[in-house]
């Protein structure tokens, strides 16, 4: 089983500028809010792929469902 802290760590390792909030009521269905400079100039679908790539094999295994909302941070 994967926990929220582990998901946050994986995303932040892949996207160092990110601020990540993860919510889950049951430990298998997750909602992610992610703010990152790395999303600048990248289409939303590609941003979501970046998140899935960061989390890796847990999606579809320990993570049954993942809802993602990405936000571009411009500095």
Please name each of the domains of the chain with its CATH number: 4-72 (3.30.300.90)
Give the predicted TM-score (pTM) of the model. Answer: 0.93
Side-chain half-sphere exposure of 5, counting CA atoms within 13 A: 0
Over residues 2-26, the mean pLDDT reads 97
pLDDT at residue 14 greater than cutoff 90:
yes
75 pLDDT more than 90:
no
Residues 6 or more apart in contact with residue 19 via CB below 8 angstroms:
34, 35, 36, 73
Average pLDDT for 7-32 = 97
- Distant-in-sequence, close-in-space partners of 57: CB < 8 Å, separation ≥ 6: none
- pLDDT interval class at 18 (50, 70, 90): very high
CA distances to 8, 52, 74, 75 from 56, in Å: 12, 6, 26, 28
């Amino acid at each position: 089983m994967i926990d929220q802290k582990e998901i946050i760590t994986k995303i932040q390792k892949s996207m160092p500028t990110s601020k990540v909030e993860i919510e889950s009521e049951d430990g298998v269905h997750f909602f992610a809010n992610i703010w990152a400079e790395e999303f600048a100039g990248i289409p939303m679908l590609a941003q979501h792929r970046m998140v899935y790539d960061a989390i890796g094999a847990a999606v579809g295994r320990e993570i049954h469902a993942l809802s993602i909302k990405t936000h571009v941070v411009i500095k």
